[in-house]
Every structure is written in structure tokens, then in C-alpha cells.
């Protein structure tokens, strides 16, 4: 029996994990290459892309099409298959700026959305050989190299002053309004990290390594797997005003739960009435 089925996770989750492992190996093979070989280029003024992003997305899309020909697909690098039923949401490399600069801190994120909600997701962190996997109603787990699977649970930190939190820099031309949220939280919390991979921030929150995470202007592929991971680990997800998310394209606030009211208090005043695009 595979580890995934021993944990009570479905064949679909096992497929997502296997596919993420394959993509992780591909991306790790490209990591040591020079910038020229990686074909690093700017997609927009604040957004990089490399050959690894494209190759990993092609690989993941091919595996999904072969196994689930009727499913839809939404990939950051442009793969889009319509469908009214289940849809895979894929970020082939989350943390591309780190990857492009040779910093071993990035993820592969694969999620399956169905009936208006994410049903399962995997966040692979290839340089650490860590695989975070989750399925709705069945929990969230860390499968590490050669170690027993660990069921994820968020931290119990209730004091903002003791909280280790993370944010990210949105891919928007004007980041100045988001920058205003960071100063106050640096002053009130233990510390703030900007590690450059939203999917890892969310997986780490689920694992109790971080206590809260906020970022505006995220895209579904950045957060689909991570949002379910946090919820299945007992954390809370909302927009910056504390309202339930109506879309995965939003100002996101994720926390361990006890910190949520304090985070909403810090952020609500900065919330834009309408999230970008």
C-alpha cells in the first residue's frame, strides 16, 4: 500500500503527488544552469519566467491530459483547457525570482478545484525534498525525505508580538500601498519574512512554522493548494477584512486562527474595496 493511501488520501491526490515529484526533478535539473541556459526573461516589469517554468508546466499538463482527459487546466504559464467540471490549477515554479537567481527556495504547486472549491493539493519544495499534500476533509501532511509522514497542524501563537509572519510582493506596477501594511506589522510582530514563494509561505503556515501570511494581488495558481492546506491544518483563511474569500484572486489573509482578529485589525484599513483584476 502506498504512503498516500495509508494516510487515507485518494488516488487523485497520489497522482498529484507523483506529478509534482516528476516536475520537481525536472526543475532541480535546471537549477544549477547559468541564467542564459535557464533562459531567464522578464514577463512584466516585476515578473520573471524561465525555461524551467515552461518545461515543468508542459510536463504537468501532459500528465494531467493523459490521466484526466476531461478535466480543465489553468497553468500560470498559459496552459488553459476549459471545462465545466474539475479543473487543475498549476504553478510550475512558485518562487521563480529565487530560482532564476540560483536561490534554492521555490515550489511546484498543483491543486484540483471542483464544485467551486479546491479538493486536493500538493506543494513540493524540491530543494528540501519536502512534499506537502492535502485533501478536503482528510487533513494535510508533510512527506519528507526518508521520514515518516507528519500530520500538519497550525501553531497556537495568540500574541501578535510573538508571531513570525510572512508577506509577499505582488506582481503589480504600484506596490506602494502594500508596502504601507508591512511597516506596522514589522513593528508589532516578532519578525516578518518575504521569502518569495506564496505557496511555501502557506505550506509553512499549515506546518506551524509561520503564524500568519498576508499578500494582495495573488493569483489562483499561487494559492489554490496552499489555502486548502492551511484550512485542513486548522488555520483560517479570509480577505483582509475578515470576510470569506469569494475568489482565489484576492487580498489574502491566512493565519493560525488565534491571530486572525489581530491581523484583520492591522489590515482592514488597507483593504481595497475591489481586489485587482
Give the binding site for ligand IPD (CB under 6 A).
47, 76, 91, 94-97, 168-171, 196-198, 215, 218, 222
Start-to-end CA span in the chain (Å): 45
- The least distance separating Ca ion from the CB of residue 153, rounded to whole angstroms, comes to 25
**Residue 230 near residue 205, CB atoms below 8 Å:** yes
Report the residue from 57, 113, 211, 222 that binds Ca ion according to the rule CB under 5 A. 222
- The least distance separating ligand IPD from the CB of residue 41, rounded to whole angstroms, comes to 13
Furthest C-alpha separation in the chain = 52
Q: Binding to Ca ion (CB under 5 A): which residues in 87-146?
A: 91, 93-94
Q: Binding to Ca ion (CB under 5 A): which residues in 75-94?
A: 76, 91, 93-94
Q: Exposed/middle/buried for 88, CB within 10 Å: 0-12, 13-18, 19+?
A: buried
Q: Pick from ligand IPD, Ca ion, none: which does 168 bind, CB < 5 to 8 A by kind?
A: ligand IPD
Q: Pick from ligand IPD, Ca ion, none: which does 51 bind, CB < 5 to 8 A by kind?
A: none
**Residue 210 near residue 165, CB atoms below 8 Å:** yes
Of 16 and 93, CB closest to Ca ion:
93
Number of residues lying near Ca ion (CB under 5 A): 5
- Region near Ca ion per CB under 5 A, out of 37-45, 73-81, 205-213, 265-273: 73-81
Which residue sits closest to ligand IPD, CB atoms considered? 168
Separation between Cα atoms, residue 255 and residue 212, nearest integer Å: 4
Assign residue 116 a region (left: φ > 0; alpha: ψ between -120 and 50; beta: otherwise): left
- The least distance separating ligand IPD from the CB of residue 156, rounded to whole angstroms, comes to 26
Q: Which residues bind Ca ion (CB under 5 A)?
A: 76, 91, 93-94, 222
Amino acid at each position: 500500500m502506498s504512503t498516500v493511501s495509508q494516510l487515507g488520501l485518494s488516488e487523485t491526490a497520489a497522482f498529484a503527488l507523483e506529478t509534482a515529484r516528476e516536475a520537481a526533478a525536472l526543475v532541480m535539473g535546471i537549477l544549477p544552469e547559468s541564467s542564459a541556459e535557464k533562459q531567464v526573461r522578464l514577463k512584466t516589469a516585476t515578473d520573471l519566467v524561465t525555461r524551467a517554468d515552461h518545461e515543468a508546466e508542459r510536463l504537468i499538463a501532459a500528465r494531467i491530459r493523459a490521466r484526466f482527459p476531461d478535466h480543465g487546466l489553468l497553468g500560470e504559464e498559459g496552459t488553459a483547457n476549459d471545462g465545466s467540471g474539475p479543473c487543475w490549477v498549476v504553478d510550475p515554479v512558485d518562487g521563480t525570482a529565487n530560482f532564476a537567481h540560483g536561490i534554492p527556495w521555490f515550489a511546484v504547486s498543483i491543486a484540483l478545484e471542483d464544485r467551486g472549491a479546491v479538493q486536493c493539493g500538493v506543494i513540493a519544495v524540491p530543494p528540501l525534498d519536502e512534499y506537502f499534500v492535502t485533501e478536503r476533509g482528510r487533513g494535510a501532511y508533510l512527506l519528507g525525505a526518508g521520514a515518516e509522514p507528519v500530520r500538519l497542524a497550525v501553531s497556537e501563537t495568540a500574541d501578535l508580538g510573538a508571531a513570525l509572519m510572512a508577506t509577499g510582493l505582488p506582481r503589480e506596477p504600484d506596490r506602494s500601498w502594500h508596502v504601507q501594511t508591512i511597516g506596522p506589522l514589522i513593528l508589532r510582530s516578532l519578525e516578518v519574512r518575504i521569502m518569495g514563494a506564496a505557496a511555501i509561505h502557506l505550506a509553512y503556515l499549515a506546518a506551524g512554522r509561520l503564524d500568519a501570511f498576508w499578500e494582495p494581488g495573488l493569483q489562483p495558481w499561487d494559492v489554490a493548494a496552499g489555502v486548502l492546506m492551511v484550512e485542513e491544518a486548522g488555520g483560517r483563511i479570509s480577505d483582509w477584512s475578515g470576510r470569506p474569500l469569494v475568489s482565489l484572486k484576492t487580498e489574502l489573509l491566512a493565519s493560525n486562527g488565534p491571530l486572525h482578529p489581530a491581523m484583520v485589525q492591522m489590515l482592514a484599513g488597507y483593504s481595497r474595496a475591489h481586489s485587482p483584476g
